[in-house]
Every structure is written in C-alpha cells, then in structure tokens.
Structure 1
Amino acid sequence: MKIEEPNFNTNQIQQRVDDYITQFKEGYFSPLSLMARLSEETGELAREVNHYYGEKPKKSTEKEKTIEAELGDIIFVLSCFANSLDIDLSEAFDSSMQKIETRDKDRWTHKD
C-alpha cells in the first residue's frame, strides 16, 4: 500500500491552521507575539542551517532537529500571522512574485 505525501496549497494550510487554533478560547496570539514567535522559529532554522552547512557542529547533548521541521514551524507561524490579520497568503505571495518578476527580471544571468 502506497502512502501518499501531503500536498497542501496555501489556502488549505491556512484553513487547517484556523481549524486548529479556533477550537481554543484563546485564539490567535497578538501580531506582536506572533512576530516574536516568527523570529524565534527563524533563529531555530538559522541554528540548524549552521549545524548542517556551517562551521558550528551540534553538541552531543543537543536534540536532533531538522531544517525541514523548522521550515514547517515557520509555515505554521506565518499562517497564524496571516490568519490573525485576515491576509490570504496566496494573494500576498502572488503580489510579491509579480513585483519580483518585474523588478528583477534582468538582474541575474539567464540560463540558455
């Protein structure tokens, strides 16, 4: 039996996060708290990247985490942030890509 990998679009991710968060009376954290959490998770990602690709190996006493897990945590917090402010991540991403594709279209050397 083949187990299929999850494949979510941003709307599904945001809905799954919302379904989880809204089951609790506390609901979403404030934007300032979410920004702090995002910074914390980004720091954890930086630490993992440094362990795998940098000059700072893990201590033998440190838990094994992965870059994949830290990226997942960042996606969760970003989704919380967007949901709490009623922002559609798909629309936000599309807007950013349109800007980047226009502004930076000739910034780097194109492949043949």
Structure 2
Amino acid sequence: MDIRTMQREVDQWIGQFEEGYWHPLSMLARLIEEVGELSREINHSYGQKPKKPEEPAGSIELELADILFIIICYANSLNIDLEEAFTRMMEKYRSRDSNRWTRKEV
C-alpha cells in the first residue's frame, strides 16, 4: 500500500465520525504517547528493563503502526501530502548528507 492510499483509508475511517480529526495539540500528545509505548516495547525487547511476568506481551510492529496512523492523521488534518513531503525530505538528505557517512563497497 502506498502512502497516498494509506492517507485516503485513514481519512475515510475518520470521516465516519462526527468528531473528525483531533486538534493538532491533541494529536501531538497522542503521538508522544504512542512513541512512549514504542519506547517501552523496545526497552523490554532490547534494553535492560525486562517485562514483569504479569505484563502482557506487546508488539513493536503494532506500536510503529500506531505512530504511522497518528502521523497520517496529522498530515490529513493539515492537508499535507505525505508522499510529496517524503520525496522532498529524501532529496534534502541526499544532498545534505550524501558524504556524511562511510559508504559500503559495492
């Protein structure tokens, strides 16, 4: 699924509710909350803080998808085409950071 399709799907899902998209500050709080949940899962899987035996299993994949959902909501609510923004961002990295790191031998 491409980014534009994801944006349409999220917009159709949100569009069925009277409340619509949350306000930008509320979405920022939600994004921070989801990043915290991802951080917790990564710390449990790769860090020095294992889960307690009574804690339910989590999913790094689902936490990343939750973050993607909120980012798409943010973009949709602000009329941002994420595909276009992503293309512009990659061009910035290609020009600014092309010689920053050691390239692999091909």
1:104 equivalent in alignment to 2:102: no
RMSD: 0.6
Structure 2 unaligned blocks of 5 or more: none
Structure 1 length-normalised TM: 0.92
**Shift, 1:91, TM fit:** 0.9
1:50 equivalent in alignment to 2:36: no
Mapped partners of 1:62, 1:78: distance in 2: 28
1:68 equivalent in alignment to 2:61: yes
Query: For 2:22, what is the secondary structure of its paired residue?
Result: coil
In structure 2, the residue matched to 1:5 is: none
Q: Deviations over 1:17-60 (max 9, x none)?
A: 00000011100000000000000000100111111010000111
1:92 equivalent in alignment to 2:85: yes
Structure 2 length-normalised TM: 0.97
Mapped partners of 1:23, 1:83: distance in 2: 15
Structure 1 unaligned blocks of 5 or more: 1-7
Letter in 2 for 1:11: R
Paired residues, number: 105
Query: For 1:73, what is the secondary structure of its paired residue?
Result: helix
In structure 2, the residue matched to 1:83 is: 76
In structure 2, the residue matched to 1:41 is: 34
